[in-house]
Structures are given as C-alpha cells and as structure tokens.
Amino acid sequence: MTHARAVVMSAAETVAVRDIELTPALATDVTIQTLYTSISAGTERMLYAGHMPHPMLQFPVIPGYETVGRVVAVGADAPATLLNTLVYVGGARCYVDVNPAWGGQSSVLHADGQRVVTLEGIKPEHGVFLALAATALHGVDMAGDISGKRVLILGQGPVGQLAARIATARGAYVIVSDVHAERLAHSRAELVCDVSTQSLSAYGVADCDVIIEASGKMDAAASAIGALALNGTIVLLGYYDTIQLPYMPLFLKQARLLTSKEWAPGDLQRSRDLMQSGILDVSTLITHHATLDQISTAYTTALFDPHCLKLLLTW
C-alpha cells in the first residue's frame, strides 16, 4: 500500500482528513489497516493549540498514538504470526511530506513488528486505552507498595480513572477528586470528592500516604499538599511546562516528589493482561463515538467537552 487517509493538523486549531503518501514498508515492518483510534486530551490538545513536543517538529503533522487495527501484511523479517491479528500500535513514522506526532491517525500505517501489542482476549476497541493504561500503571508502580495505604488521585480524566482502578486492585484505600461531576460519576473509589463544591479538607481527606497528580494541573497538586501524610509521596503523572509547588508545606511533610515518564518496557502488555483478566475494567470509559467525516467535531468534543472521557474514532 502506497497511500492512505490520515488526520492532518496543518496549523493550530486546524484539523482535516487528507490523502497522504506512505513511505515503503521495511523488511521488519508490518502493515496495519486501522479499525479504531482515539484522541489524547493531553498531548493532542498540545498539538491542537500549536505547541510542538519537540523544537524540530513543524506543521503539518499527523497526530495520535492510540491505534488499533488488523495486520494485513508482514515484512520478510517481521514475525509471520502477526498476519491477520488485531494489534495496538503507538504511532508510526511512515509518511511523505508530513511529520508524525506521533503518526497514529492514519487508515493504513507501517510499523516495526516488535512495536505492536496483540489484543487477544480483549475487545478491539478497548485497545485504544493501552497507552493511557500503561501510563497509569507506571505511575502507580512508582508509588511502591500501596496495599492498605491511603492514595489520593487528583483528576478523573482517563489516566486518573485508570490509576484509581489499578490502585484499588492493589489493595489501597483510594480517594479521587475532580472539578467535573460528570467525570466523577464514572469513578471507582472509596471516597469521591467534587472539589468544585468543597475542599478536600471539608471532605475530611488527610494523612494520605500517596498523592498521584493526574489532572495535569500544577495548582491541583499545590492545593492538595495539606492532605499528604508525613513522609508521604507525590507522583506527578501529568505533563507540565514547569513545576510550581510551595516549598514550605513540602518541607514540613518531608515529602518525596516523583515524576513519571510514560511507561516502562512491558507495561503495554501488562495493561492488556489486566484488561483481559477483568482486573482493569475500561468498559464504561468510552463515552463518545465518531467517524472520520466528523473529525473536526470529534476533536472539539475530545479536547474540550468535560463529559467526554474517551472518544472512539471508527475508521
């Protein structure tokens, strides 16, 4: 295959479906026919606003890293067993005259066969959660042994929702907070806090062994430090331009501050296995659906509608 249809951002706040040319597949590549993708409310929001993740990256770009599809061709040096299997892949770099960032929103793509994750045992559409689930899993891993501990998770977007489910499965007493009641309606935790109506302290939230910041908002982390236990841990699971936290409350709590960089090797497969076993249930987190002819509306909904946890784009 030499051509495909892809979602292309040609400028800030400008997104459309275009015909694009593919580079030739390598011997180690598999060719994937896309069935589903999703839109990241974090990284794709950054692109949509015109902020590039790397100074050398320029418009036009193909966004996305949440692609599920079927392997329709296998290179001579790629695993032959992948042919006709359903897989997840976190983007691709197989395009002519358009930059990948991260290149997953394409009807057809070539990717190294070692990068794909097979989706046996789970619904194909649930595969779009693998990247965010692996991000959440890695953040919870960084918190260490949380069995029997109080864990406060700030933000109930997809990553926060997934982190709460994983922490609960590990035996933690989980508290979640958000400013959007519609997101909290999907939460699974011992205590659910709508901080648009009252503060964490008014909910009685205190002495948390771990705070996982998953809202992407530094002010949320700053306002929650008072809920941290002495010698507690704060895991920054979002992405931030700068770290702006008041030092005195951190000093008094003798807090440990950790940053979490996406996921570790094997976390994508571990996340799939958690879904397969039923430990990580994502069935209620797809709240919106769209097709390619609705791409502009799909991005507006996924990025700006607080009712939208995860939008599934069908190709």
Is residue 69 domain-shared with residue 40, that is, in the same domain?
yes
Kindly state whether residue 276 falls inside one of the protein's structural domains.
no
Task: Report the pLDDT value the prediction gives residue 1, as an integer from 0 to 100.
Answer: 84
For the segment 179-200, the average pLDDT, to the nearest whole number, is 97
Kindly state whether residue 72 falls inside one of the protein's structural domains.
yes
Please write the tens of the pLDDT for every residue from 19-67. 999 999 999 999 999 999 999 988 899 899 998 777 778 999 999 999 9
Q: What is the mean pLDDT of the chain?
A: 96
When computed from its CA atoms, the radius of gyration of the chain, rounded to whole angstroms, is 20
For the segment 171-187, the average pLDDT, to the nearest whole number, is 98
For the segment 104-109, the average pLDDT, to the nearest whole number, is 98
Is residue 103 domain-shared with residue 41, that is, in the same domain?
yes
Kindly state whether residue 142 falls inside one of the protein's structural domains.
yes
Is residue 19 domain-shared with residue 82, that is, in the same domain?
yes
Task: Report the pLDDT value the prediction gives residue 234, as an integer from 0 to 100.
Answer: 98
Please write the tens of the pLDDT for every residue from 197-234. 999 999 999 999 999 999 999 999 999 999 999 999 99
Kindly state whether residue 172 falls inside one of the protein's structural domains.
yes
Kindly state whether residue 60 falls inside one of the protein's structural domains.
yes
Is residue 168 domain-shared with residue 193, that is, in the same domain?
yes
Task: Report the pLDDT value the prediction gives residue 207, as an integer from 0 to 100.
Answer: 98
Task: Report the pLDDT value the prediction gives residue 83, as an integer from 0 to 100.
Answer: 98
> Hey, what amino acid is at 64?
G
Is residue 174 domain-shared with residue 248, that is, in the same domain?
yes
Q: What is the CATH number of the domain that holds 99?
A: 3.90.180.10
Is residue 111 domain-shared with residue 135, that is, in the same domain?
no
Helix (H, G, I), strand (E, B) or coil at 194: strand
Predicted structure pTM score: 0.96
Kindly state whether residue 267 falls inside one of the protein's structural domains.
no
Q: How far apart are CA 132 and CA 66, in angstroms?
A: 9
Kindly state whether residue 42 falls inside one of the protein's structural domains.
yes
- Supply 191's token pair: 């205590």
Is residue 108 domain-shared with residue 144, that is, in the same domain?
no
8 Å CB contact between 28 and 113? yes
Is residue 147 domain-shared with residue 247, that is, in the same domain?
yes
The fraction of the chain above a pLDDT of 90, given in percent, is: 94
Task: Report the pLDDT value the prediction gives residue 23, as an integer from 0 to 100.
Answer: 98
Q: Is the pLDDT of residue 256 over 80?
A: yes
Q: Is the peptide bond before 60 cis (omega within 30 degrees of 0)?
A: yes
Kindly state whether residue 255 falls inside one of the protein's structural domains.
yes
Is residue 159 domain-shared with residue 90, that is, in the same domain?
no
Is residue 152 domain-shared with residue 251, that is, in the same domain?
yes
Final residue before a domain boundary, out of 242, 259, 276: 259
Q: Is the pLDDT of residue 249 over 80?
A: yes
Q: With cut-offs at 50, 70 and 90, classify the pLDDT of residue 136.
A: very high
CA-based nearest residue to 125, from 62, 42, 38, 64: 38
Task: Report the pLDDT value the prediction gives residue 310, as an integer from 0 to 100.
Answer: 97
Q: Is the pLDDT of residue 73 over 90?
A: yes
Task: Report the pLDDT value the prediction gives residue 239, as an integer from 0 to 100.
Answer: 83
Is residue 141 domain-shared with residue 244, that is, in the same domain?
yes
Q: How far apart are CA 110 and CA 146, in angstroms?
A: 40
Split into its structural domains, the chain has a count of: 2
Q: How far apart are CA 173 and CA 192, in angstroms?
A: 12
Task: Report the pLDDT value the prediction gives residue 150, as an integer from 0 to 100.
Answer: 98
Which residue has tokens 């784009």?
A: 313
Structural domain of residue 7, as residue ranges? 3-118+285-314
Is residue 101 domain-shared with residue 12, that is, in the same domain?
yes
Q: What is the CATH number of the domain that holds 177?
A: 3.40.50.720
